[in-house]
């Protein structure tokens, strides 16, 4: 980041040719496609009235010419019959219907705004009435997106250390005494943690790692409850490496943020120093600063960052390179140490490790037994709803690092890169430890999910978390309920490959094999879905893999536009084959979606309770398309740039206020409070709108 001075910038692409421009172009729909169900219903009603008026006028003139004009010539003259025809037109046509519908939509939109839902178009308000599936992500929508570190694992024995011990209950004390005792226990524990960690934190901040270590003593309270505190383990090199990684492989930082004050002019802003960053990064930042008294600013200054591979939904990990400060100034720059730190999903990070660090600062080979032990610990934490982050590192000299970057630059020019990791090695890391983070659900969400279920709306969780964590959170927010998932069971399926490479899908219910299925042709995208087809075609055109389709003749375009104004888009399945829901839950991982054919999609989407874990934005789009193919009206939540295609493809795209500008542009509405409960309130309001519109139409 250049903060001052002068320089020259080279512009290589503008507008739609940039990455954000291409994404925005995929999400821009044509005006002919933006026809809602309300629009079609009004058009069909007007068409019926017009046909009835024309039919009445024709009958009037036939009656007048064949009977009245002959037998009663002076009863109704020609001029009087013309006046009667005009009167029928004025009387039959509901001229006040457009203004009445607009007024009702405006009132409902204002009511939704008071419910913290900003609707971008009045026409989309009616879509709330017909939503049958809500595909929602987890962080910030179902949960509070305020993570805290709860457990750490850094030794070979797989022992999780709890930072704050839980005091033993005391018999006979009152509620007030219990609250006071728990509060004092938290304060005393925090003081003990800071005493034990402050010396190591200062050494890490100053870069002087050769100072002698001092073992702090344990208090009687720690021994009585048999829970080791962080102060007792802070002397180990593995824990020090965890702290270093949490501080350096971290994009959270304190920034001055300006917010407009509610009820005041926009020009009046309030500035405050706030911790800005991803929820996981802020949790690790708070662990270092608040609990271990680490001066992160000094540590980052003494160990400057050289390069970084940002976290993304495809890799699911982040890598940073920092040059460690040397105590001896005489060390040549080429021999200085560069620390490569990888942080991300355990099931991906651990596979890239060839060794692991013990409590005795020994690096032992990473074998299958150790991997399985770590995966078991991850499963144990995931079952309790914790999000687990793995961390590993690799130390190289500055000369080796420079050679890696030069080799990466040459390979990038020759386009011979197998896996683009920004020049970082793909494996050979040393496993350091695990962090478990707690992101509690929002208090209103469980009741809102049950309310949606009573309204015959299915709520499907689509998240990037581990399946075990996603399943635990789904149970906490009632997406997986006791009545269905725990009483009846949760279905799963596993993929096994034959010696010839042919995959076989085994469908299980409560660990009982239901059947085996050999997948056939996998339908990549729905050809009848206009938004999806347009996105795929535009992406192929941008990549140079396809040519734009020739425009049809004008009369075909006019006929298609007229038909789109009054007729509903056809479902990919005939009405007779609409799927019936089965009272079971299911958890599907994103890696398995690529093997699913139409039979598997029918089986998966027929479940009453759905959880999709470890998904990417592309897989999220595929889930939306498959729901639409089966006649579902889908509402999708999203906050990232890559969520824009799914938001645009869905019948109702719900963007988050905290999301990117591209996602807000693609969405049909914006949740101002990032709360799932607001969606349910908006659907309730939308259903009231349907009843009121029927009354208005009958009156007019």
Q: What is the structure's pLDDT at 461? A: 95
15: left (phi over 0), alpha (psi -120 to 50) or beta: left
Q: What is the structure's pLDDT at 634? A: 94
3-state SS of 487-507 is: CCCEEEEEEEECCCCCEEEEE
Helix (H) or strand (E) holding 308: strand 305-309
Within-domain flag for 377:
yes
Q: What is the structure's pLDDT at 170? A: 43
520: exposed, middle or buried (Cβ count in 10 Å: 0-12, 13-18, 19+):
exposed
Q: Provide mean pLDDT across the span 510-514.
A: 85
Within-domain flag for 23:
no
Q: Where are the beta strands (DSSP E) in 324-386?
A: 337-344, 353-357, 363-365
Better-predicted residue by pLDDT, 204 or 14: 14
- For 29, 203, 455, 461, 559, the CA distances from 398, given in Å and listed in that order, are 50, 22, 62, 45, 67
Predicted confidence (pLDDT) per residue in 435-447, tens digit: 999 998 988 899 9
Within-domain flag for 33:
no
Q: Is residue 374 located within the same domain as residue 515?
A: no
Q: Provide mean pLDDT across the span 106-129.
A: 87
| Pairwise CA distance, residues 28 & 629, whole Å | 21
Better-predicted residue by pLDDT, 8 or 544: 8
CB atoms within 10 A of CB 694: 11
- What pairs with residue 353 in β-bridges? 429
Q: What is the structure's pLDDT at 216? A: 30
Q: What is the structure's pLDDT at 343? A: 95
3-state secondary structure of 595: coil
Among the ranges given (11-25, 169-183, 274-288, 417-431), the one the predictor scored with the smallest mean pLDDT: 169-183
- Indicate whether 179 pLDDT > 80: no
Residue 680's CATH number: 3.40.50.1000
392: exposed, middle or buried (Cβ count in 10 Å: 0-12, 13-18, 19+):
buried
Q: Is residue 458 located within the same domain as residue 606?
A: yes
pTM above 0.85, yes or no: no
- Indicate whether 695 pLDDT > 50: yes
| Pairwise CA distance, residues 392 & 381, whole Å | 19
* Total residue count of the chain as it appears in this document: 700
Listed in sequence order, the residues at least 6 apart from 667 whose beta carbon sits closer than 8 Å to its beta carbon are 120, 638, 647, 653, 654, 655
Q: Is residue 449 located within the same domain as residue 422?
A: no
Q: What is the structure's pLDDT at 469? A: 92
- Indicate whether 593 pLDDT > 50: yes
- For 197, 206, 247, 438, 695, the CA distances from 294, given in Å and listed in that order, are 8, 11, 8, 21, 65
Closest CA to 587 of 438, 382, 373: 382
Q: What is the structure's pLDDT at 390? A: 94
- Indicate whether 218 pLDDT > 50: no
Q: What is the structure's pLDDT at 570? A: 62
Closest CA to 637 of 29, 27, 141: 141
State the residue for tokens 């005009």. 86
Q: Provide mean pLDDT across the span 397-402.
A: 92
557-562: long-range contacts, CB 8 A cutoff, minimum separation 24: 560/32, 561/32
Q: Is residue 424 located within the same domain as residue 516?
A: no
Q: Is residue 326 located within the same domain as residue 182?
A: yes
Q: Is residue 132 located within the same domain as residue 152?
A: no
Q: How many domains in the chain?
A: 2
| Pairwise CA distance, residues 699 & 692, whole Å | 11
- Indicate whether 291 pLDDT > 80: no
Within-domain flag for 60:
no
Domain that includes residue 204, residue range? 148-162+176-438
Binned at pLDDT 50, 70 and 90, residue 542 comes out as low
Domain boundary among 409, 438, 467: 438
Within-domain flag for 564:
no
Q: What is the structure's pLDDT at 294? A: 84
Q: Is residue 224 located within the same domain as residue 365?
A: yes
Q: Is residue 466 located within the same domain as residue 414?
A: no
**Average pLDDT across the chain, whole number:** 79
| Pairwise CA distance, residues 187 & 65, whole Å | 98
Predicted confidence (pLDDT) per residue in 184-196, tens digit: 444 444 444 443 4
Within-domain flag for 700:
no
β pairing state of 387-397 and 429-438: antiparallel
Q: Is residue 397 located within the same domain as residue 498?
A: no
Q: Is residue 192 located within the same domain as residue 333?
A: yes
Predicted confidence (pLDDT) per residue in 66-84, tens digit: 888 888 877 888 888 899 8
Residue 307's CATH number: 3.40.1110.10
- Indicate whether 377 pLDDT > 90: no
DSSP secondary structure string for all residues of 615-678: --HHHHHHHHHHHHHTT--EEEEE-SGGGHHHHHHSSEEEEETTS-HHHHHH-SEEETT--HHH
| Pairwise CA distance, residues 581 & 606, whole Å | 5
635: left (phi over 0), alpha (psi -120 to 50) or beta: beta
Q: Is residue 364 located within the same domain as residue 504?
A: no
Whether residue 221 contacts residue 234, with contact meaning beta carbons closer than 8 Å, is answered with: no
Within-domain flag for 538:
no
Predicted confidence (pLDDT) per residue in 598-648, tens digit: 899 999 999 999 999 999 888 998 999 999 888 899 999 988 777 888 888
Predicted confidence (pLDDT) per residue in 413-458, tens digit: 777 666 788 889 999 999 999 999 999 898 889 999 999 999 999 9
Quick one: CA dihedral 207, 213, 215, 216, positive or negative?
negative
Binned at pLDDT 50, 70 and 90, residue 261 comes out as low
Within-domain flag for 106:
no
Domain boundary among 375, 406, 438: 438
Closest CA to 81 of 106, 103, 104, 56: 56
Q: Is residue 430 located within the same domain as residue 460?
A: no
Domain boundary among 438, 473, 507: 438
Among the ranges given (7-21, 483-497, 535-549), the one the predictor scored with the smallest mean pLDDT: 535-549
3-state secondary structure of 32: coil
Q: What is the structure's pLDDT at 541? A: 56
| Pairwise CA distance, residues 511 & 79, whole Å | 83
């Amino acid at each position: 980041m250049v903060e001052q001075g002068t320089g020259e910038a080279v512009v290589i692409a503008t507008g739609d040719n940039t990455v954000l421009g291409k994404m925005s172009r995929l999400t821009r729909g044509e005006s002919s496609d933006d026809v809602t169900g309300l629009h079609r219903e009004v058009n069909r009603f007007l068409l019926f009235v017009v046909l009835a008026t024309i039919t009445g006028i024709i009958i009037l003139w036939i009656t007048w010419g064949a009977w009245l004009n002959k037998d009663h010539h002076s009863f109704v003259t020609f001029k009087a019959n013309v006046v009667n025809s005009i009167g029928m037109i004025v009387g039959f046509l509901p001229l006040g219907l457009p203004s009445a519908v607009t007024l009702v939509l405006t009132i409902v939109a204002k009511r939704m705004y008071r419910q913290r839902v900003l609707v971008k178009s009045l026409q989309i308000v009616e879509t709330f009435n017909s939503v049958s599936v809500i595909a929602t992500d987890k962080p910030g929508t179902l949960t509070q997106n305020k993570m805290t570190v709860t457990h750490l694992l850094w030794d070979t024995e797989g022992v999780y250390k709890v930072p704050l011990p839980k005091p033993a209950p005391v018999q006979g004390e009152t509620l007030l005494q219990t609250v006071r005792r728990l509060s004092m226990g938290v304060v005393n524990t925090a003081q003990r943690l800071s005493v034990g960690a402050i010396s190591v934190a200062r050494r890490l901040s100053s870069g002087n790692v050769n100072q002698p270590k001092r073992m702090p003593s344990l208090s009687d309270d720690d021994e009585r409850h048999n829970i080791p505190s962080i102060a007792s383990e802070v002397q180990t090199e593995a824990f020090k490496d965890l702290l270093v990684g949490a501080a350096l492989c971290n994009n959270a930082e304190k920034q001055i943020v300006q917010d407009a004050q509610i009820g005041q002019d926009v020009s009046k802003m309030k500035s405050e120093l706030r911790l800005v960053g991803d929820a996981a990064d802020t949790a690790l930042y708070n662990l270092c600063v608040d609990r271990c008294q680490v001066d992160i600013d000094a540590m980052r200054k003494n160990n400057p960052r050289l390069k970084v591979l940002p976290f993304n939904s495809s890799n699911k990990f982040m890598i940073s390179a920092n040059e460690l400060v040397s105590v001896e100034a005489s060390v040549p720059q080429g021999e200085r140490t560069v620390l490569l730190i990888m942080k991300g999903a355990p099931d991906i990070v651990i596979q890239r490790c060839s060794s692991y660090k013990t409590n005795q600062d020994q690096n032992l080979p990473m074998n299958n037994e150790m991997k399985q032990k770590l995966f078991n610990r991850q499963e144990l934490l995931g079952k309790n709803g914790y999000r687990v982050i793995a961390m590993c590192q690799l130390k190289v000299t500055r000369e080796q690092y420079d050679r890696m970057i030069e080799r990466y630059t040459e390979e990038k020019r020759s386009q011979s890169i197998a896996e683009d990791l920004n020049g970082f090695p793909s494996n050979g890391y040393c496993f350091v430890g695990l962090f478990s983070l707690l992101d509690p659900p929002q208090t209103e969400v469980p009741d809102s999910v049950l309310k949606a279920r009573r309204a015959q709306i299915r709520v499907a969780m689509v998240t990037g978390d581990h399946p075990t964590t996603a399943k635990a959170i789904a149970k906490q927010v009632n997406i997986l309920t006791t009545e269905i998932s725990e009483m009846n069971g949760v279905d799963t399926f596993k993929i096994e490959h034959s010696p010839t490479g042919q995959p076989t899908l085994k469908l299980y219910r409560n660990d009982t094999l239901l059947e085996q299925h050999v997948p056939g042709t996998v339908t990549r995208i729905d050809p009848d879905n206009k938004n999806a087809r347009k996105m795929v075609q535009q992406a192929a055109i941008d990549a140079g893999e396809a040519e734009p389709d020739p425009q049809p003749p004008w009369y075909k375009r006019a006929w298609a536009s007229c038909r789109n104004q009054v007729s509903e888009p056809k479902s990919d399945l005939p009405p007779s084959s609409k799927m019936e829901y089965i009272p079971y839950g299911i958890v599907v991982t994103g890696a398995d979606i690529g093997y699913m054919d139409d039979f598997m999609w029918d089986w998966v989407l027929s479940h009453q309770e759905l959880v999709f874990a470890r998904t990417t934005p592309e897989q999220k789009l595929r889930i939306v398309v498959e729901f639409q193919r089966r006649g579902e009206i889908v509402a999708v939540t999203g906050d990232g740039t890559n969520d824009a295609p799914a938001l645009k493809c869905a019948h109702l795209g719900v963007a988050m206020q905290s999301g990117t500008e591209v996602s807000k542009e693609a969405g049909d509405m914006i949740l101002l409070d990032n709360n799932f409960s607001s969606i349910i309130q908006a659907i309730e309001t939308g259903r009231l709108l349907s009843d009121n519109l029927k009354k208005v139409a009958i009156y007019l």
